[in-house]
Structure 1
Amino acid sequence: MNNSFKLFDPMKDCESILPDLPGNYFIVLRPTSQLAPIKVTPEFHYIDYNNNHYPIIYTGISNISIRKRDYHQHFIGNNAGRSTLRKSIGSLMGFSKIPRDKNNSDNGKTKFNENDEETLSQWMRENLLLFYSVENRKKEQIETLEQEFINDYNPPLNILGNKNSVNKEYRALLKTLRNKTNFNK
């Protein structure tokens, strides 16, 4: 990882330090944290930063705003329906999904119940860190970098576009968990 990435700690840092600009990001586990265990154990690549070794669990992009995409959609609120990261972690934690739209419950869009969303937000703030970069890039460059990061770092929670044979079984099981809802058991 190059030096353009900066660290954001959701337990200590104020969201206002995150740029309201497009960019790339990595979500990593704190050194003492772990994902909820399932039948398959993922393999990690790591980011070394200030003498710490951080397992990379996810990489993504924001075409508009790191602050809005990363902080607002991933770390706070009732957003499992809009954040693939939240949906994956909540599914690993065994939370049941419910229809996101009460008026159209058959559209396949889901979220977690309010208590689970709160628990998930707290867990994410306590166990995850964000590395972000907002170097001046065009949308195509940001997307190209995301695919390069998926290819190079093989984050276990990146399902889409991840064709790496390592963690293939883990991603398949995660996908099954993500697709399971309490109304289609």
Structure 2
Amino acid sequence: MLENILQSIRDTAKLIDGHLDYPTCPGIYAFMLKDNASLKEFGTQHQIIYVGIAKESLKKRDLGNHFKSSSTGSSTLRRSIGAILKEELSLIAFSRNGTNNKREILNYTFNDAGNNTLTKWMLKNLIIGYWKDGHSIPYSKLRSLEEDVIKILKPTLDLDARTKKYNVLANHLDNLRKVCREEALKDLKK
């Protein structure tokens, strides 16, 4: 089954605009950089940078979350790319809902203009491939398969507690995200 998942991710990989009939079922997805794209030391063209799971709908998770400018606070992928490209895209981090609650700082967002710029960068530079769960396997099994895929592909933006140890850039990414969290907290103290 694992080889089928990896093959499906490779076979379906294209720019998000190239997916005409994006699946509405659960599954596993992977983001990679397109031709001539770079995410600094976190990736070059065709490199897998992120693997995720859609518990209910791939379409809802990927189109309704990762590629939606207002969803940075609920997308690890967006927060990580934003932290890496913070200076380049002139992003300013804020608490997700304007409070100093630890969770809202941890799940920071960016200013509206920055979120829009981040979305444009993602649409221009990212390819996404997926595997559809056509058998409604239990969520625990889906998570286990996601973990196996991450172990094999070693995405550079992986910070999942289960698999973070396989990402040699995890500490560096954590530090970049920490800068954003500190900025979000500092803004609240003004």
TM-score, normalized by length of structure 1?
Answer: 0.81
Structure 1 counterpart SS, 2:160: coil
| Contact 1:98–1:111 (8 Å) recurs in 2 | yes
User: CA RMSD of the aligned region, Å?
Assistant: 2.2
Paired AA for residue 94 in structure 2: I
Structure with higher strand content: 1
| Contact 1:21–1:66 (8 Å) recurs in 2 | yes
Alignment match of 1:27 (pick from 18, 31, 37)? 31
Structure with higher helix content: 2
Q: What is residue 85 of structure 2 aligned with on the other side?
A: 93
Q: Which consecutive residues of structure 1, in runs of 5 or more, have no partner in the other structure?
A: 45-52
Alignment match of 1:60 (pick from 28, 46, 52)? 52
Q: What is residue 181 of structure 1 aligned with on the other side?
A: 183
- 1:106 correspondence with 2:110: no
Q: What is residue 18 of structure 1 aligned with on the other side?
A: 22
Q: 1:123 to 1:65 in 2, by over 3 A?
A: same
How many residue pairs match? The answer is: 169
Q: Which consecutive residues of structure 2, in runs of 5 or more, have no partner in the other structure?
A: none
Q: What is residue 127 of structure 1 aligned with on the other side?
A: 125
Structure 1 counterpart SS, 2:146: helix
Once residues 27 and 75 of structure 1 are traced to their aligned partners in structure 2, the CA distance between those partners, rounded to angstroms, is 12
Once residues 182 and 23 of structure 1 are traced to their aligned partners in structure 2, the CA distance between those partners, rounded to angstroms, is 33
Identity fraction in percent: 27
